[in-house]
Amino acid sequence: MIQLYLTCLLIVSCLAYSCYGLFPLARTTLCRPSPGVNGGGGPPRRPPSRLFTLLDDRNASRSSSAIPDEVSTNNIQQIEESAPTSMKGLQQWKGSRVLANRDVQVTLKSFLFAIVLRSLIIEPRYIPSLSMYPTFHVGDQLLVDKIGHFVRPLRHRDVVVFHPSDSYVDLTGSHEALIKRVIGLSGDTIEIRQGRVYLNGEEQLEEYVHQDEATVAVSDTGDFPLIRIPKGMVFVLGDNRHHSLDSRAWGFVPEENIIGRAVVKYWPPRRLGYIEGGR
């Protein structure tokens, strides 16, 4: 009886051993090591043979192939869900960067344009004194055309801004630019008698000159002897003859010292207008 039992047990063991590779799930479940394997939970099991190890790796790869698919699918879904937000943020960042670059370019171009405009074409100026009253008041601001006198020659009665001559610098010690009215040009003769200007022998009617009867006197305006203006020079006077330090005191102005011609008063707004000049 015992022999028969042992024989049956041996046959069952052989069948089970033979079918080991045909039932991977059962094999994996039955042969999975217990928590105590190599960790204090029980004695270590004997490792399977090389054949069953290869079969185990192949079946394990088959059984676990679904897991990366699920993981990758979840990752794809997460990427697809987060992609619009990320792309939107990226587009906004790129857009703001493009706008910033455009702003910088516009600012630089405007700055360069302003430098070129002020240096070569037109320049704002401020009136600090009453030497040109009533044409200009203290605090008036005007625009000076810096290229017009190269295109159109200077004319009598043009209002010009210029660098002071050496004689003016020697007399006052100042190098600040001045503004006066052109009375005589190169080759003209100038004479002042009792406050009246004679250009090339003809008396000039100067409606722009400040006429203050309380202060008009020959001694204030002074006489200026007849003289011919040298080549390359101009003779200038202030409209407020009694309060102007001009060519009567320090002589002629070299033409190359002229910065430009005053053309427009723009401040204050109530005095906005064109500056009457040459004829």
DSSP-derived letter for residue 42 is B
The residue among 31, 73, 89 whose CA lies nearest residue 56 is: 31
Question: Whole-angstrom Cα distance, residue 131 to residue 74?
Answer: 86
Neighbouring CB atoms inside 10 A of 240's CB total 18
Distance (Å, rounded) from C-alpha 252 to C-alpha 278? 18
d(CA 267, CA 140): 6
Q: In whole angstroms, give the CA distance from residue 216 to residue 271.
A: 27
Q: What sign has the CA pseudo-torsion 91, 92, 98, 99?
A: positive
Is 180 considered catalytic here?
yes
Q: Which candidate in 131, 165, 244, 247 is catalytic?
A: 131
Catalytic residue among 165, 180, 244, 247: 180
**Nearest Cα to 267, choosing from 146, 104, 125, 162?**
125
Query: Which residues does the annotation mark as catalytic?
Result: 131, 180
